[in-house]
């Protein structure tokens, strides 16, 4: 295995493994938000912005992995 | 027809491409977009200042509605109106500038109209326009300004001693020397926690800049790949996604800056906790 092949493999693994956590996190945030809105439909408007904020933070971790893949 | 020799799914390089030089200073395509944004806001400022009447109408109404909306949202986070008005210029500017830069990148022609030439050894299309926030220099600059402003706000509102003792808590150690050995141990531990807070400041800067850069740059790469696959109707959902990502990232950056400002000007969170503990027995 030479350097070029290892680089390709490293890029793929970085994004692949690095996206598992954020994907699960975003799913959980969405799940809890759905549950909360289902219990209390009037709170939907209030819940929307914090949910989006939480999802953006979780997605940022996936973006860090993507940056590593870009810079390799 | 000319083809770039980078490969089938080639996309834009990580660093912004220089388009021309003024003396020793290279202007890159993302810097050019940033200047377009600056020119837009200066133009809006000049157009709006002449028409201040009691009942707003037309364009001035839109601008006033946006500024009032921003002020209300900031008031919800800070709680008091005086600090909301102090934080409004920085936070609203960050929000609107990042929003405008992100959305300007979706206008057809950004990233596609360019000059064919050699860049880093490859023959490829050098675009003339590129979103300002898809350049790490830009987002890092905005993040550094935001975090530096939080420190400046902490220094001016809390005083130099209070602010520095959040990070280098020597004052806590000195005060605890009178109390007893347990308090000295706690004070030493808090001193090291303060040192870790310094690392946290750098982490905040890095995460703010990388989050925005990563989202917008990845969006640009996505658009390039998508448009090189199917150029016509199919990329429309992706352009919509990019519009959504643009506004969400602008909101996140501005909200985080606001949260950091509030935390920096808050006088030592511990005092708030003590008050709550005293109030609790009354409820039971």
- Tens-level pLDDT at each residue, chain B (284 residues): 566 666 666 677 888 888 888 888 889 889 999 999 999 999 888 888 776 666 666 778 888 889 999 999 898 888 788 889 989 999 999 999 999 999 999 888 888 888 888 777 777 788 889 999 999 999 999 999 999 999 999 999 888 888 888 888 888 888 888 888 888 888 888 888 888 889 888 988 999 999 999 999 999 988 888 888 888 888 899 999 999 999 999 999 999 999 899 888 887 654 434 433 444 444 44
* Residue from the list B14, B210, B248 with its beta carbon closest to the beta carbon of A56: B248
Q: Is B210 on the interface with A (CB under 8 A)?
A: yes
Average pLDDT, chain A: 90
Element spanning A19, H or E? none
List pLDDT tens digits, range B103-147. Answer: 999 888 888 888 888 777 777 788 889 999 999 999 999 999 999
Contacts of A30 by beta carbon, 8 Å cutoff, 6+ apart: A51, A55
A70 and B217 within 8 Å at the Cβ level: the answer is yes
**Cβ neighbours of residue B260 under 8 Å, at least 6 residues apart?**
B146, B147, B150, B204
Q: What is the pLDDT of residue B271?
A: 41
**pLDDT score at B69:** 92
B85 min Cα distance to partner chain A (Å): 22
Question: What confidence score (pLDDT) does residue B55 get?
Answer: 63
| Separation in Å, CA of B178 to nearest CA in chain A | 43
Chain B CB contacts of A60 under 8 Å are 207, 210-211, 214
Residue A40 DSSP class: -
Q: What is the CATH number of the domain that holds A40?
A: 1.20.20.10
| pLDDT value of position B269 | 57
- The domains of chain B are located at 18-269
pLDDT attached to residue B274: 40
Question: For residue B51, what pLDDT is reported?
Answer: 65
Q: Beta partners for B124?
A: B117
Residue A5 CB-half CA count within 13 A: 2
Pick from A53, A57, A66: which is nearest to B214 by CB?
A66
Rounded to a whole number, what is the distance in Å from the CA of A66 to chain B's nearest CA?
Answer: 7
Q: Give the distance from residue B31's alpha carbon to the nearest chain A alpha carbon, in angstroms.
A: 21
ipTM: 0.76
The pLDDT of residue B270:
46
Residue in B130, B153, B143, B144 with CA at minimum distance from that of residue B223? B130
Q: Answer whether B207 sits within 8 Å of A56, measured CB to CB.
A: no
Chain A with chain B: Cβ pairs closer than 8 A? 33
Q: Is residue A61 classed as helix, strand or coil in its secondary structure?
A: helix
| CA angle (B191 as vertex; B258, B163 as ends), nearest 5 | 40
Is residue B126 within 8 Å of residue B119, measured between CB atoms? yes
By CA distance, what is B11's nearest residue in A? A70
The percentage of residues in chain A with a pLDDT greater than 90, rounded to a whole number, is 50
Residue A69 above 90 pLDDT? no
Q: What is the mean pLDDT of residues A38-67?
A: 87
CA dihedral sign of residues B99, B100, B103, B105: negative
Determine the distance in angstroms separating the CA of A48 from the nearest CA of chain B, rounded to an integer: 12
The answer to whether B248 contacts chain A (CB < 8 Å) is yes
Q: Quote the DSSP letter at residue A34.
A: H
Quickly tell me which residue has 């405008």 as its tokens: B100
Q: How far apart are CA A47 and CA B73, in angstroms?
A: 15
Binary contact (A60, B207; C-beta < 8 A): yes
Contact B251 A70 (CB under 8 A): no
Q: Nearest by CB to B214, from A49, A52, A67: name it.
A: A67
Q: Which two tokens stand for residue B10?
A: 């080639």
The residue segments making up the domain with residue A8 are 3-71
B195 φψ region: left (φ > 0), alpha (ψ -120 to 50), beta (else): alpha
Å between A53 CA and nearest CA of chain B: 6
pLDDT at res. A52 = 84
How far apart CA B244 and CA A29 sit, in angstroms, is 18
B211 vs A: CB within 8 A: yes
Q: DSSP per residue over chain B, as a string? A: ----TT-TT----SSPPEEEEETTEEEEHHHHHHHHHHHHHHHHHHHHHT---SS--THHHHHHHHHHHHHHHHHHHHSSHHHHHHHHHHHHHHHHHHHHHHHHTTSTTTTTSEEEEEETTEEEEEES---GGGSHHHHHHHHHHHHHHHHHHHHHHH-HHHHHHHHSTHHHHHHHTTT-HHHHHHHHHHHHHHHHHHHHHHHHHHHHHHHHHHHHHHHHHHHHHHHHH--SSTTHHHHHHHHHHHHHHHHHHHHHHHHHHHHHTS--THHHHHHHHHHHHHH-
pLDDT tens readout for residues A17-47: 999 999 999 999 999 999 999 999 998 888 8
Closest partner residue to A63 (CB to CB) among B14, B211, B248 is B211
Total domains present in chain A:
1
B102 touches chain A (CB under 8 A): no
- Residue in the structure block whose two tokens are 């390709």: A8
Give Cα separations from B20 to B30, B31, B38, B137, B184 (angstroms). 12, 11, 19, 18, 61
């Amino acid at each position: 295995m030479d350097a070029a092949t290892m680089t390709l493999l490293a890029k793929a693994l970085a994004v692949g493994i690095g996206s598992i956590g954020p994907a699960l996190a975003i799913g959980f945030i969405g799940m809890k938000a759905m549950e909360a809105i289902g219990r209390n439909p009037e709170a939907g408007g209030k819940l929307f912005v914090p949910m989006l904020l939480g999802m953006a933070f979780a997605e940022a971790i996936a973006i860090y992995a993507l940056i590593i893949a870009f810079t390799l | 027809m000319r083809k770039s020799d980078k490969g089938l799914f080639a996309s834009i390089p990580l660093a912004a491409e220089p388009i021309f030089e003024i003396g020793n200073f290279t202007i890159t395509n993302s810097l050019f977009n940033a200047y377009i944004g600056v020119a837009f806001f200066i133009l809006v400022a000049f157009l709006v200042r002449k028409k201040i009447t009691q009942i707003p109408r037309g364009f001035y109404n839109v601008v006033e509605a946006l500024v009032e909306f921003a002020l209300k949202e900031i008031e919800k986070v800070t709680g008091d109106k005086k600090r909301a008005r102090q934080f409004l210029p920085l936070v609203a500017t960050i929000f609107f500038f990042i929003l405008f830069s992100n959305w300007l990148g979706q206008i057809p022609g950004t990233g596609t109209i360019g000059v064919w030439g050699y860049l880093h050894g490859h023959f490829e299309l050098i675009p003339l326009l590129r979103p300002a926030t898809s350049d790490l220099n830009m987002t890092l600059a905005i993040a550094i300004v935001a975090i530096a402003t939080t420190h400046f706000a902490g220094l001016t509102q809390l005083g130099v001693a209070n602010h520095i003792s959040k990070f280098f808590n020597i004052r806590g150690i000195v005060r605890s020397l009178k109390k007893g050995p347990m308090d000295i141990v706690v004070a030493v531990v808090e001193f090291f926690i303060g040192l870790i807070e310094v690392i946290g400041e750098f982490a905040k800067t890095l995460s703010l800049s990388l989050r925005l850069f990563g989202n917008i740059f990845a969006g640009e790469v996505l658009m390039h790949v998508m448009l090189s696959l199917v150029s016509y109707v199919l990329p429309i959902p992706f352009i919509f996604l990019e519009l959504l990502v643009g506004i969400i990232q602008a909101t996140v950056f501005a909200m985080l800056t606001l949260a950091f400002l509030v935390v920096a000007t808050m006088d030592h969170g511990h005092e708030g906790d003590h008050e709550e503990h005293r109030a609790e027995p009354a409820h039971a």
